[in-house]
Amino acid sequence: MRFSSLFFCFTALACGLRSAHAGEVNVAVAANFTAPMQKIAQAFEKETGHKALLSFGSTGNFYAQIRHGAPFHVLLAADDATPSQLEKEGLGLAGSRFTYAVGKLVLWSKQAGVVDAQGQILRSGKIQRLAVANPKLAPYGAAAVETMTQLGVLQALQPKWVQGDNIAQTYQFVATENAPLGFVALSQVMVDGKLVAGSAWTVPAHLHAPIRQDALLLRPGKDNPAALALLQFLRSEPARATIRSFGYDL
């Protein structure tokens, strides 16, 4: 979705030069975007002088918090539905929403040789525990359920779920081997185009709805120059390069 011309005007003023009056922006960040956003926030502060105060969690929980008055200025969601709903409810600035990344779902194990390149292990009957993010709160969890449904293995695998509240907790279950494998975000196990450890199957895009991750300027951030500058910075080539390096599409 395009910014309004007024929004572009404000962001240009806010981000054109390093601010003489550096500010702070409170950002609610989907858990899958933790690592790239930490890098982006550092570059953003160096470039503009503004500081991004980051909170990480599930998009569903952030939605509830924002509706109850949480003082976030910007939401970086793990889907496009939540920002759209907040915009319709008047809790986000109309015209400010845009897709900052398109996520990829991956079936991952910390151990090499566990997950095959075609994901056939899901049909093997050998899985004892499978980490999945709460599909009611985490879009990556919903994508995992959709994938298992498309493959016809949901009924067999659901009793074996180890469910995380968000994708970060789900990743921890696999990283600590409390679950031998699980559905996580590719960005959590990939840096500079390389798998950090173990074995993985990147889920083909046709097995679930696109994971379009939208940014939204929230109502408390309307007059915050740091919030406006951050949203503009997310669209810059340095930020986009960082996003790509963690395996996201744009």
- May I ask the CATH class of domain 105-202? alpha beta
Q: For residue 232, how many other CB atoms are within 10 A of its CB? A: 22
Report, at the CATH architecture level, how domain 5-102+210-245 is classified: 3-Layer(aba) Sandwich (3.40)
Average pLDDT score over the chain? 92
For residues 24-53, give the mean pLDDT: 97
Of the pLDDT bands very low, low, confident and very high (cuts 50, 70, 90), residue 16 is: very low
Q: Report how far residue 100's alpha carbon sits from residue 108's, in angstroms, rounded to the nearest whole number.
A: 24
For 166-208, how does the pLDDT look when each residue is reduced to its tens digit (9 = 90+)?
A: 999 999 999 999 999 999 999 999 888 788 889 999 999 999 9
Q: List every span in the chain annotated with CATH 3.40.190.10.
A: 5-102+210-245, 105-202
Half-sphere exposure of 196 (CA within 13 A, CB side): 15
Residue type, 86: L
In terms of phi and psi (left: phi > 0; alpha: psi -120 to 50; beta: otherwise), the region of 223 is: alpha
